[in-house]
Amino acid sequence: MKLRNHYLKENVTGYLFILPQALLFLLFIVYPILEGLRLSLFKVQYQKETFVGWDNYVTLFNDPVFFKSLVNTVVFVVFIVVLTVAFALFVASSVFDKNAKYVSFIRGSYYIPVMVSMVVMSMVWGFLLNPANGLISYAARELEFSTVNLLGNKNTVMPVIIFVTFATNVGQAIILYIASMIGVPKDLFEAAEVDGASRVQVIFKILIPLVKPTTLYIAIMNIIAVLKIFVVIQLLTGGGPNNSSVTMMYYLYNNAFKYNQLGVASAVGVIMFLITFLLSVPQLRAMFKEK
Amino acid sequence: MKIKNRISKWVMLGLVLVLAAGCASKENGGQENGSANAGSAKKKVEIALWLTPQWKGVFEASEANADYDSFFKYAAEKFAEQYDKYDVKVNVQVVAGDQRDELLNVNLNGGTAPDIFFESVFAMGDYAHRGALAPLNDIVDDAAKQDIAQSYWDNVTFGSDVYFYPFSHNPGTFAYNADMFKAAGLEKFVGGETEIKTWTLAEYEEILEALKTKLPKDQYSNAYPMALFALNNQADTWNLAYLRMFGNPFFDEQGKIVIDDERGVKSGEWLKKIYDAGYTNPGAESVSSNDANAMFQNQQLAISFTNAVLFNNAKADMEAGKAPKFDVRLANIPSESGDPLSFTYVVGSSVFNTGDEVRMQVAKDFVKFYSTDAELVKASKNGIPVRSSVAAEFKDQYPLFAAYDANAKYMFAFTGNVPGYSELRQVLYPELQAIYTDEKSPAQAIKDYQEKGNAVIQKAKENSTIK
């Protein structure tokens, strides 16, 4: 008993130090998750809440738009994350060992879109792509092409959103990769040079394996961010045409704030939480294993 | 070491207390409205009034610094001066029409709903069904009932209670650019300046064809005959009128959608026909009503949608040099039968059921004040007054009042007064998009809309607090 008391006394300072963060975590992360779980089992009306069991989930699984949003979200995650990692690796591995000023210039130019708010970026793209009075469609008309409406075509709307999101996000990944690559010990490159390794071999055999923790971090962060993709959809397409670009987050938003179906929206939230959790666990485990 | 430990414990305790105090003070902040002000004689009450953009200025858009909130700021000052129960401050906020439901739902769920909302009744009916609005029977007196026609009271009565105090109404029509018509050789179709011109459907198609082929490109480059939009939930009212073009009644007597018949499908096919023929702006599926309105003002569209307030605002913008000036006139939405398709939005005030009796009472008193005050009700001339007294006073000054009045017999209730209209308008535009993008045939889209729409209405009926 005395030993236990002593052990507790030893650690109480530590616990007190993490207490504010733990309180905030409980209040702003754990409580909303539990509340979301609870609400997903209720029908929420202005004056009352009624327990409906799994009804909200049944509603979801009977709604084809929900499945469309699920598929679209997966497509976004796969394409945006793969494009971001591949392009960032390409740019970073091409420039990391060049002149410092040149590296700074490249870093800066790719980072500018990251600093600009996604809302502003979406509005600029919206102006460019508007089929009736946008710049791209105007140019197409002037050049005597047929009417261009990339956002109104269900085959082109997804690639456009993928490109816009990728172009806005890739700067962050490039910065992280360049920093990570600059940190790779120089003697490895020198040894490779002595052995007569080509640039491609250096990149694939030394650089990419050594920046694996960064790749994992970028992949996890981007997966989580893209799962929640919303602003671009809301401002550019409104989920259209005919729900072709609706994502889970947009579907959740519509249910919660446009249709006032808080229970259904919470059920979407719970499903999104589970997906993110399942996707993140193996990657986090791999990351901790590395360390 | 021991001292160090003790210090860190106290620091931590302090941090926790600061955190707790922060949370507590926030709670107090939320209750500030309506709390007593010990220093003054009257108790201080703050209420929030939200509105979507209506008319600019107190009475006229030509006033200095005229804006959408001018009227309510002026009304609030006048109200506060004469109100003897409380020391009232009214916070007026203009919110975008397409963001209304999001804002209201967030604030309703967060317990921070506004006290008053001034808006078209059709867009707010759902909140009455949800039990979020307070009945206004106690502020409607006999004088008001006599001055405002029964049809308007029917529009704002849900079950047996009045939920909106009608202020004005806003008939929806077409606006057309008479200069563009003349340039395309369509003089014979141009109506008078104070007329709402009625064309037959055949004439309308002739107009669209001429605007497409005969409009001089050097004078109007990048211009299209007619506005068509289906980007978001704002794409409901005029599109709902087009869907009645071939005589479909849209709702049956039980409030169910019955658009899926030969006449309904024909109207869907007509929309697709004029879209494919290039009679409208391109990319209707990605164009919003705001885009269409801006294009019309920039003379990129010859015919667009409008209502009484929008029409007056457009004219005022032209006069003030904020928009290119051209000869803008009104026309009815045509139909196959030859009768115009006519509808109106009744605009009025609702009071939210915030649970705070004092604020609700003040809100009701304020609504009654600006909806009955002899001077303030004159502002309803910016739309069409619901009060016979105001309409009679201004009828010589505003000859269009008579033209709108002549349309009254063709009026249809475009919402069918069904519950769940807010969600119902969310299921229309995806189906219209499907038509324009060839994803569905008009017949399939009409069928799907009826099915989804009726499911929405059914669900809303079950959840309605009004029996």
Is the CB of A257 inside 8 Å of chain B's CB atoms?
yes
**CB-based contact B415:B421 (threshold 8 Å):** yes
By DSSP bridging, strand B165-177 and strand B343-352 are antiparallel
B453 versus A280: which is more confidently predicted?
B453
Task: List CB contacts of B163: < 8 A, sequence separation 6 or more.
Answer: B125, B128, B133, B134, B135, B136, B156, B157, B350
Whether B78 contacts A230, CB under 8 Å: no
Mutate to test the interface with B, among A133, A254, A262 (most CBs of B within 10 A): A133
Banded model confidence at residue B463, pLDDT cuts 50, 70, 90: confident
Task: Please name the member of B5, B108, B423 whose beta carbon is closest to the beta carbon of A259.
Answer: B423
Tell me the per-residue pLDDT of A137-159, one tens digit each, with 9 for 90 and over. Answer: 888 878 877 767 888 888 899 99
Handedness of CA B295, B298, B302, B308 (dihedral sign): positive
In one-letter notation, the amino acid at residue A104 is: S
Which token pair is A162? Answer: 């993928």
> Which of B15, B105, B282 lies nearest to residue A131, judging by beta carbons?
B282
Query: Which residues make beta-bridge pairs with B198?
Result: none
Interacting residues of A273 by C-beta distance below 8 A, sequence separation 6+: A33, A36
The predicted model scores a pTM of 0.79
What distance in Å separates residue A226's CA from the closest CA in chain B? Answer: 23
* Contact between A163 and A151 (Cβ < 8 Å): no
* Option in B109, B300, B433 nearest A242 (CB): B433
**Per-residue pLDDT tens over the stretch B220-230:** 988 999 999 99
For residues B79-97, average pLDDT: 94
For B171-222, what is each residue's pLDDT tens digit? Answer: 999 999 999 999 999 999 999 998 999 999 999 999 999 999 999 988 898 8
Cα of A175 to nearest chain B Cα, Å:
35
Strand B165-177, strand B384-385: pairing: antiparallel
CA A180 to chain centre: 21
CA angle A270, A272, A274 (to 5 degrees): 70
Give pLDDT, residue B39: 46
Q: Do A45 and B130 touch (CB under 8 A)?
A: yes
Confidence of residue B458 (pLDDT cuts 50, 70, 90): very high
- Name the band, by pLDDT with cuts 50, 70 and 90, for residue B446: very high
Q: Which two tokens stand for residue A160?
A: 């456009």
Separation in Å, CA B160 to CA B258, B368, B459: 27, 19, 21
ipTM of the complex: 0.72
What is the per-residue pLDDT for A131? Answer: 80
What integer pLDDT is reported at residue B6 of this predicted model? 61
Rounded Cα gap, residues B233 and B253, in angstroms: 25
First to last CA, chain A: 36
CB contact residues (below 8 A), chain B span 195-224, against chain A: 222, 224
Tokens of B316: 């005022």
Position B183, amino acid: A
CB-closest option in A13, A151, A154 to B9? A13
Taking only residues 28 to 57 of chain A, the set having a beta carbon closer than 8 angstroms to any beta carbon of chain B reads: 43, 45-47
Q: Which residues contact B98 (CB under 8 A, 6 or more apart)?
A: B232, B233, B234, B288, B290
Report residue A161's pLDDT band, with 50, 70 and 90 as the boundaries: very high
Give the separation between CA B415 and CA B433, rounded to whole angstroms. 20
Q: Does the beta-carbon distance from B281 to A257 stay under 8 Å? A: no
pLDDT, average across residues B125-136:
91
Q: Distance between CA atoms of B156 and B164, rounded to whole angstroms?
A: 5
DSSP B355: S
Chain A interface test: which of B222, B228, B286, B290 (most A C-beta within 10 Å): B286
Flag whether residue A113 sits within 8 Å of chain B, measured between CB atoms: no
Contacts of B430 in chain A (CB under 8 A): 239-243
CATH topology of domain A56-290: MetI-like fold (1.10.3720)
All structural domains of chain B: 43-169+345-405 (3.40.190.10), 171-344+416-463 (3.40.190.10)
B394, two tokens: 């201004």
- Looking at residue A1, its pLDDT comes to 53
What residues of chain B, 368 to 407, have a C-beta less than 8 Å from chain A? none
Q: Which amino acid is at A201?
A: Q
pLDDT (tens digit per residue) in A29-50: 999 999 999 999 998 887 788 8
What's the N-to-C CA distance of chain B in angstroms?
72
